[in-house]
Chains A and B, each alone.
Chain A
Amino acid sequence: MYSSNPTYRLLIALVLAVVLMALDQRSKWVEPLRYGVGYLTAPVHYLAHLPVDSARWLGRLSETRSNLMESRERLERQVLILEQKVQRLAVLQAENVRLRELLNSSANLDASVLVAEIIGVDPDPNRQELVINKGGQDDVLQGQAVLESQGLIGQVVEAGPLSARVLLITDASHAMSVQVNRNGVRAILAGTGQGSRLRLLYVPDTADIKEGDLLVSTGLGQLYPRGYPVARVSRVSHQSGAAFADIEARPTARLDRVSHVLLVQSMEPVSIPDVASESPADPPTAEELPDDE
Chain B
Amino acid sequence: MMNNERPAGTGVILVTFVVAALLEVVPLNQTLDWVRPEWMLLVLLYWVLSLPHRIGVLWGFLVGLYLDVLVGATLGQWALSYAFGAYFMLAAYKRMRVFPLLQQSAVVFLLVGSANLIAYLVQESVGRTLYPPYTILYSAAASAVLWRPLCTALRWTQHRFLVR
Chain A residues packing against B (C-beta within 8 Å)? 2, 6-7, 9-10, 13-14, 16-21, 23-25, 30, 33-34, 37-38, 40-41, 44-45, 47-49, 52, 120-127, 129, 131, 157-158, 160, 165, 172-173, 193-194, 291
Are A20 and B79 in contact, CB atoms less than 8 angstroms apart? yes
Closest to A124 in B: B71
Nearest A residue to B58 via CB reads: A9
> Chain B residue with minimal CB distance to A41?
B70
Please give me the 8 A-B residue pairs with the lowest Cβ-Cβ distance, nearest first.
Answer: A20-B76, A17-B80, A13-B83, A17-B76, A9-B57, A21-B76, A37-B69, A24-B75
Closest-by-CB residue of B relative to A7 is B87
Q: Is the CB of A10 within 8 A of B83?
A: yes
Q: Interface on B for A, CB 8 Å cutoff?
A: 18, 21-22, 24-28, 30, 33-34, 36, 52-53, 56-58, 60-61, 65-66, 69-77, 79-80, 83-84, 87, 90-91, 122-123, 126-131, 135
Chain A residues in 8 Å Cβ range of B135 = 125
B65 and A10 form a contact (CB under 8 A)? no
Partner of A48, one of B22, B73, B123, B131: B22
Contact present for A21 and B77 (CB under 8 Å): yes
- Tell me which residues across on chain B come within 8 A of A194, comparing CB atoms: 130
The answer to whether A123 and B131 touch (CB under 8 A), given A18-B76, A20-B75, is: no
The answer for the CA separation of A225 and B57 in the assembled complex, in Å, is 46
Q: Are A173 and B61 in contact (CB under 8 A)?
A: no
Minimum distance in angstroms from A38 CB to a CB of chain B: 6
Q: What is the bound-complex CA distance between A77 and B87, given in angstroms?
A: 64
Residue of chain B at shortest CB distance from A2: B53
Q: Cβ of A125 and Cβ of B75 under 8 Å apart?
A: no
Tell me what chain B mostly uses at the interface: helix, strand, loop, or mixed.
helix
Residues of B near A24 (CB, < 8 A) are 74-76
A sample of 12 cross-chain residue pairs with beta-carbon separation below 8 angstroms, ordered by A number, consists of: A6-B90, A7-B87, A18-B80, A21-B76, A48-B22, A120-B25, A120-B27, A123-B25, A123-B36, A125-B30, A125-B131, A194-B130
Closest to B80 in A: A17
Q: Tell me the nearest residue of chain A to B125, going by C-beta.
A: A21
Question: Chain A's nearest CB lies how many Å from the CB of B23?
Answer: 9
Most chain-B Cβ atoms within 10 A of its Cβ — which of A10, A14, A16, A23?
A: A10
Q: Other than A6-B87, A21-B74, A48-B26, give 11 A-B pairs with Cβ distance below 8 A.
A: A13-B58, A13-B60, A14-B80, A17-B77, A17-B83, A24-B76, A37-B69, A44-B21, A123-B25, A126-B129, A131-B25
B150 to chain A, nearest CB (A): 18
Name which of B66, B70, B77, B90 has the most chain A CB atoms within 10 A of its CB: B70
- Is A158 within 8 A of B77, CB to CB? no
Q: Are B127 and A13 in contact (CB under 8 A)?
A: no
Please report the C-alpha to C-alpha distance between residue A145 and residue B156 in the assembled complex, in whole angstroms.
48
- The distance in angstroms between the C-alpha atoms of A194 and B131, with both chains bound, is 10
B18, B36, B74, B76: the one within 8 Å of A44 (CB): B18
| Closest beta carbon of chain B to A48's beta carbon, Å | 5
Which residues of the other chain, A, contact B76 by a CB distance below 8 angstroms? 16-21, 24
Min Cβ gap A126→B in Å is: 5
Instruction: Considering the complex, give the chain A residue whose CB is closest to the CB of B84.
Output: A10
By a CB distance below 8 angstroms, the chain B residues around A34 are 69, 75
Nearest A residue to B138 via CB reads A125
Complex Cα distance, B60 from A236, in Å, reads 50
Chain B nearest CB, measured from A155 CB (Å) = 14
Alpha-carbon distance between A10 and B57 when the two chains are bound, in angstroms = 6
Contact of B69 among A10, A38, A125, A126 (CB under 8 A): A38
Contact of B71 with A122 in the complex, beta carbons under 8 Å: yes
Residues of A contacting B87 in the complex (Cβ-Cβ under 8 angstroms): 6-7, 9-10
Task: Tell whether A125 pairs with B53 under 8 Å between CB atoms, given A17-B76, A21-B75, A48-B22.
Answer: no
Knowing A6-B90, A37-B65, A44-B21, the reply to whether A122 touches B79 (Cβ < 8 A) is no
